[in-house]
Amino acid sequence: MVAFFTRRRCLASALALMTLGTSRLAAANALYGGEDEEYFDPALLPPAESEIDFPIEKVNLRIIAKRFRRQIVDFEGPEALGTIIVEPENRFLYYVIEQGQAIRYGVGVGRAGFAWSGNAIVGMKRRWPRWVPPRSMVDRDSNARRWINGQPGGPDNPLGARALYLFSNGADTLYRIHGTNEPATIGKAVSSGCIRMLNEDVAHLFELAEVGTPVIVRPSHDGGQQNESTVHHQ
């Protein structure tokens, strides 16, 4: 596995926050890199996933280039059946379904300086997951400040309908494959490091990819650079 995550100011995983006990406020602030105890209160976190299973609205495919629409394609890679492969440069995600074939989805990827690459597995899955912005985003984005203690899952949430949480060496990488509330961004490099998909596509992949599914994200031209302020999902 490639070790590709060195960030002091990232969110802890939902499970970690749930086990912080009476000292969890101080611990959470330390994870955020802040000393202000009023910055973040994990007691106010919404549920990890919505209790409502919202319907997934169909996207008008006229806004999605044909090459980024879900389709079965020939695939010549050596990866085993059931592997997820992401090609950021081409804005494609593949799920290998049989020898020589894969389902190809269009994706949005990290913009310059926010891209990443490496090997991981799907360590956790969530339906209509919550979103928690990191302090770095809150400090520079007044809209993110509104969700300082987390935005509940739902149609307006940036993580969209589903999220696959990527783990490496048993630890949450804080990177996700997730849906989006901005379908027109598919095929573009606009995210803060994660891989975004149409909600109907990520829901399709969600049903195929079990926990433990291997994930390979190939390098892009910028070398898959890391940035401690990139991760903004939980």
Which residue in the list 10, 194, 204, 232 is annotated as catalytic? Answer: 194
Model pLDDT, residue 187: 95
pLDDT digits (tens, 9 = 90+) for 136-167: 778 878 888 888 889 999 999 999 999 999 99
Annotation: CATH topology of 14-217:
L,D-transpeptidase catalytic domain-like (2.40.440)
Which residue in the list 10, 178, 232, 233 is annotated as catalytic? Answer: 178
* Mean pLDDT taken over the chain: 79
pLDDT digits (tens, 9 = 90+) for 24-78: 333 333 333 333 444 567 778 888 999 999 999 999 999 999 999 999 999 998 9
- 178 catalytic? Reply is yes
- Amino acid letter at 204? H
pLDDT digits (tens, 9 = 90+) for 209-225: 999 999 999 987 644 44
Using alpha carbons, select from 78, 83, 77, 76 the residue that is nearest to residue 215: 83
- 194 catalytic? Reply is yes
Q: Which two tokens stand for residue 201?
A: 């596509």
Please, are residues 234 and 14 in contact by the beta-carbon 8 Å criterion?
A: yes
Entry pTM: 0.77
Domains of the chain by residue range: 14-217
Return the beta strands (E) in 18-158 as ranges. 71-74, 84-87, 92-98, 101-106, 109-110, 118-127
Residue, of 6 and 148, whose pLDDT is higher? 148
Q: Give the Cα separation of 114 and 111 in Å (integer).
A: 5
Using alpha carbons, select from 140, 142, 117 the residue that is nearest to residue 216: 117
Using alpha carbons, select from 225, 232, 234 the residue that is nearest to residue 114: 225
Residue 19 DSSP label: T
Model pLDDT, residue 221: 66
Pairing of strands 195-196, 109-110: unpaired
**Sign of the dihedral defined by the CA atoms of residues 181, 187, 193, 197, in that order:** positive
Please, are residues 28 and 192 in contact by the beta-carbon 8 Å criterion?
A: no
